[in-house]
């Protein structure tokens, strides 16, 4: 509840600042579009080609907003996720803008998304499109793909 209130206050302040000319026009709504590749281990926000191998496929996209809005992280995997009864890829969110803010997600390439909490418990698997994960995303510290 407190986090949601803080986000609303921040959004109101950003819009107010943009209207009054304190910020450039697009700054209030500019969202990050970043990429991480399990093949290369690289992370970046300057385009997918700077981090992924040409053979990588999209495993998942996670968003800080509901309905696929806000900051977006595309997670690239070397091949479609095998269905082998285990989680094949883990991504620690550390101090990124997605930590505790995974509010929607899309799964691709037969991957299922797992949202892990600090205590090791998890929610999921999430398959296909999930426009509202607020019930779990506010406590997500790690992403798993299986």
Report how far residue 109's alpha carbon sits from residue 100's, in angstroms, rounded to the nearest whole number.
Answer: 25
Residue 31: the pLDDT is: 83
Task: Determine the pLDDT at residue 29.
Answer: 54
| pLDDT value at 112 more than 80 | yes
Q: Percent of the chain at pLDDT above 70?
A: 79
HSE at residue 109, side-chain half, CA atoms within 13 A, is 18
Dist. CA 90–CA 114, nearest whole Å: 9
Is 78's pLDDT higher than 80? yes
pLDDT given for residue 12 in this prediction = 33
Average pLDDT (101-116) is 97
């Amino acid at each position: 509840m407190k986090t949601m209130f803080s986000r609303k206050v921040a959004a109101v302040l950003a819009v107010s600042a943009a209207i009054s000319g304190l910020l450039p026009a697009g700054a209030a709504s500019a969202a990050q579009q970043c990429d991480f590749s399990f093949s290369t281990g690289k992370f970046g926000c300057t385009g997918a080609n700077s981090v992924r191998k040409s053979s990588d496929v999209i495993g998942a996209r996670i968003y800080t907003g509901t309905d696929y809005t806000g900051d977006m992280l595309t997670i690239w995997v070397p091949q479609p996720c095998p269905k082998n009864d285990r989680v094949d890829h883990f991504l620690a969110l550390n101090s990124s803008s997605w930590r505790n803010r995974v509010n929607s997600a899309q799964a691709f390439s037969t991957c299922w998304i797992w949202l892990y909490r600090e205590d090791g418990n998890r929610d999921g698997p999430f398959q296909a499109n999930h426009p509202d994960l607020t019930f779990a995303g506010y406590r997500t510290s790690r992403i798993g793909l299986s």
